[in-house]
Amino acid sequence: MMEPAGGPRGSGSGPETSTAVTGGETPTATAVAGDGESASALLDRARRVAESVTDPELPAVTLAELGILRDVTVQDGHVHVTITPTYLGCPALREISGDLHRQLREAGFADVTVHVQLTPAWTSDAITAEGRRKLAVAGIAPPRPAARGPVPLGLPGRRDPVACPRCGSADTTVLAPFGATLCLALHRCRACGEPFEYVKDI
């Protein structure tokens, strides 16, 4: 870490690569942090580790896919991770921070600071397409994209119906405004009768 890293190719914000790290893939070539690694390689690796950390409440998706992960930088071997919680005071925040610390440490990064950034606030639009797909596969209805709705139900104050992740029916009803976590609501499908969780729009 105290070596004059060869190619300083943008020390802070490299090219914004949106490579979705798929779960099964194990990143190869894991060198020990600072062991002859260039600054950009170090940053790449730290970013990959941070991106692959899953959400403790929605383990089907990663922090990157949820849009919680805002930034990863490395300064003199010290990793700074910036996250934005889905909800103010989201109880998972401490767990997320702990997971980031642990997994980065296991990857050879001893010094890690997790910063919490509240503005701009997280919205459900920050969830990536891959994140939405994975949530649906896990039986959790992803939030509806903002300002798009071909089927108005005619209910005042409501947006499009939440489609059932199992059968796709729009004939669903809210069972409880809060599911297992603050970020989830419990719905039930009238077509197939199955209850399901839904990531609330914000």
Nearer to Zn ion, 64 or 189 (CB): 189
- Least distance CB 61 / Zn ion (angstroms): 21
Give CA separation, 132 vs 67, 120, 138, 184, in Å. 11, 21, 10, 14
Nearer to Zn ion, 122 or 198 (CB): 198
Nearer to Zn ion, 130 or 160 (CB): 160
- Least distance CB 135 / Zn ion (angstroms): 16
- Least distance CB 172 / Zn ion (angstroms): 7
Nearer to Zn ion, 72 or 199 (CB): 199
- Least distance CB 40 / Zn ion (angstroms): 47
- Least distance CB 163 / Zn ion (angstroms): 8
Please give the residue ranges that form the binding site for Zn ion (CB under 5 A). Answer: 164, 166-167, 169, 189, 191-192
Nearer to Zn ion, 112 or 189 (CB): 189
- Spell out the long-range contacts of 52-57 with Cβ–Cβ below 8 A and sequence spacing 24 or more: 52/21, 52/23, 52/27, 52/103, 53/96, 53/99, 53/100, 53/103, 54/99, 55/92, 55/96, 56/92, 56/95, 56/96, 56/99, 57/92, 57/180, 57/181, 57/183, 57/184
Please, are residues 151 and 160 in contact by the beta-carbon 8 Å criterion? yes
User: How far is Cα 55 from Cα 154, in angstroms, rounded to an integer?
Assistant: 35
